[in-house]
Structure 1
Amino acid sequence: MAHDTTTRDKRRDDAPDRTGGAAAETAAGRLDREIAGLDALELGGGTRVRLLQRTWSALWPILTAVLIAIAAWQAVVWSGWKEPWVLPGPRDTFPVFWDQITSSRFWNSVALTMQRAVIGFVFAVVVGLVIGALVSQFRVLRRAFGSLITGLQTMPSIAWFPLAILLFKLSESAILFVVILGAAPSIANGLIAGVDYTPPILLRAGKVMGLRGIGLYRHLIMPASLPSFVAGLKQGWAFAWRSLMAGELLVVIGDTTSLGVLLSQARELNNTADMISYMLVILIIGIVIDRLFGLADASIRRRWGVAEN
């Protein structure tokens, strides 16, 4: 009985401690949640600030370059080097530019040009992937076609048009043919360079893990060569865009109207302001696509841990 009494007294003495401990744990948990909420709020604000800083840091160099280019353009006009009807200034060109981009005919032309560009670039990517994958994996093909691919890459796209017109006449196929030949070698070389610079230790590790053939290429070599491949895609797009503009100036198909056709018509009619407006649109499209490739490249570098988040 004495032992039971002592046990009950001890339990009564421990009960306040357990109650106080539970209350302390509850208060500590509440405090942790409040601190976490404050941290989340602070981090959210910091994220928004960093986003604004990134946006501004990306925009101000572009805006500065545009302002410098416009100032240089105006300075050339003020110098009197050419007559205003030959080389109009920004004040005379920008109203024409605005009239052009607000017309339906202009946007129909842009749509046709972009359709050709996307289709040609997609075919070039497929061709470049196949050629790059084969050449990078087989030494015989590397010796046979490695220099040829580089030679095709350096060949001016406009040199292909006489042959393209002879083979396909004045048709969409002629333009597509030259766009593919202009872009595919750069894409293939980008993939080949990425495969060549894949660390050998990664290849050995992949083979130890059982990767062979297509599996090794798909799960290891392609991800490892992705940065170089994206650089090849970016360069391939530049060649495809230049080839397309040359093709639209040389190959006029029926009554279709594209950016190249509008540019050619403005030149024939000596409408320099219209011509410069179309050139500005071509330049802007090129810059926008370049920025998209830049975003893709930055995302890849962040995933690889070689760029700041």
Structure 2
Amino acid sequence: MPATDLKRADAASPGGGDDISSGLDALESPSAPAARRAAKKAVAPLAAIVFVLVVWQLAYALDVLSTLPSPASVAGELGDLWRDGTLLPALGHSLERCVFGFAASVLVGAPLGLLVYRYALVRTVIAPVLSAFQSLPAAALVPLAVIALGESESAVYAVVLLGAVPSISMGLASALDQIPPLLRRAGVTMGATGLRAVRKVLLPAALPGLVSALRQGWTFGWRALMTAELITATPLPGVGQVLNAGKESASFTLIVAAVIVILAIGVLVEALIFGPIERRVLRDRGLTGPK
């Protein structure tokens, strides 16, 4: 059809070329400004915080639990911990331990998960041990580490490793098990064998499951660290020692303040690190839309 006829057809149709051009403009323009998207994402967490504070204040006002401190008193306790120089160093020590412990857990757990996936003998011998440690409470790991290594930083790191490595290994092995066999055979056909297959086929295909395994490993490691700090006396006090100080002094306010700090770190790590990474990985695979 000649170009002039196309122009007449566009002009004759309802909306004509304006509809087409506006549709293209809508596709090319961003769905919403970044500030608006960020504000939208913040609504749900802020609403949840407000809800918890309202329920907490009502429970305190109605004297549902006689020992329950008020939100204001807990906020004052956190302010006192900040002003006397206790909160920030304790938080820094705990985060440093968990970050380094988590990094070491990834370096140990990821290759171990690959071995469990690749070799039947390793799966038969090692997988039950990893599953057993995965179900073992962190409080049971602390005496083992203390007896073997004494009340030291090494014992704390050992507890973090024992808490995080099984989750990362078994999570990665499970994600690799779910890779379609056809994809693996296609990789072999194209020359992807050995470490090349791991880098080019297996890990990219298992990436969503790997992210979930890393998230779970961080969660188990953080919980194990708090348990280790609560029980073990180390030269550098962490948030767990603050929690223990509240227990020793029978200060419910200090205990609740420490628990809030522990929960806040977990929520922030999820919201700022693992949540965005998971959404990006899933969106790149067309499994979910941008949120």
Does TM-score exceed 0.5, indicating one fold?
yes
Match of 2:242 among 230, 242, 262: 262
Matched, 1:60 2:46: no
- What CA distance in whole angstroms lies between the structure 1 residues aligned with 2:115 and 2:43? 43
* 2:266 is the counterpart of 1:283: no
Q: AA paired with 2:54?
A: A
Structure 2 residue aligned with 1:133: 114
TM-score (norm 1): 0.81
Offset of residue 101 of structure 1: 3.5
Q: Note the 1:1-309 alignment, pairs <5 A.
A: 39=25, 43=29, 46-48=31-33, 51-83=34-66, 86-254=67-235, 256-291=236-271, 292-309=273-290
How many Å apart are 1:209 and its aligned residue?
0.7
Paired with 1:71 and 1:47, the residues of 2 have a C-alpha distance of 32
The alignment partner of 1:263 has SS state of helix
User: C-alpha deviations, 1:6-31, integer Å up to 9, x for none?
Assistant: xxxxxxxxxxxxxxxxxxxxxxxxxx
What are the Cα deviations for residues 266-306 of structure 1, in whole angstroms up to 9, with x where unaligned?
22223322222221111100101112101110010111111
TM-score, length basis structure 2: 0.85
CA shift, 1:53, in A, is 4.2
Q: Which moved more, 1:145-154 or 1:186-195?
A: 145-154
Work out the CA distance in 2 between the residues paired with 1:193 and 1:251. 34
Runs of 4+ in structure 1 displaced over 4 angstroms? none
- Superposed displacement of residue 95, structure 1: 2.5
> Deviations along 1:149-208, whole A, 9 cap, x unmatched?
222111111101111111001001111111101011110011101111111121111111
What CA RMSD, in Å, does the superposition of the two structures yield over aligned residues? 2.1
Counterpart of 1:25 in structure 2 is none
1:211 counterpart SS class: coil
Deviation at 1:102, TM superposition (A): 4.7
Task: Give the letter for the 2:263 counterpart.
Answer: L
Structure 1 CA distance, aligned partners of 2:289 and 2:64? 47
Looking at structure 2, the residues matched to 143 and 251 of structure 1 have their Cα atoms a distance apart, in angstroms, of 34
**Contact 1:120-1:180 at 8 Å conserved across structures:** yes
Between the aligned partners of 1:79 and 1:47, the Cα distance in structure 2 is 44
Cα deviation, 1:73-131, whole Å, max 9, x if unaligned, reads 12221222343xx3211122222223333553321111111111111111111111121
Q: Secondary structure at the match of 1:261?
A: helix
Q: In structure 1, list runs of 5 or more residues that go unmatched.
A: 1-34
Q: Distance in 1 between matches of 2:286 and 2:25?
A: 25
* 1:35-82 Cα shifts (integer Å, max 9, x gaps): 99x959x826x541xx34432332222112112211221222122234
- The residue identity in structure 2 corresponding to 1:303 is D
Q: Within 2, Cα distance between the matches of 1:202 and 1:150?
A: 28
- How far apart, in 1, do the equivalents of 2:258 and 2:44 lie? 24
Question: Residues of 1 paired with 2:146 and 2:180: CA distance?
Answer: 45
Segment drifting more, 262-271 vs 192-201: 262-271
2:192 partner SS: coil
Deviates more, 1:99-108 or 1:212-221: 99-108
Contact 1:190–1:230 (CA under 8 A) maintained in structure 2:
no
1:235-286 per-residue CA deviation (whole Å, 9 max, x = no partner) reads 11110001000000111124x2211111211222233222222211111001
Identity between Structure 1 and Structure 2 (%): 31
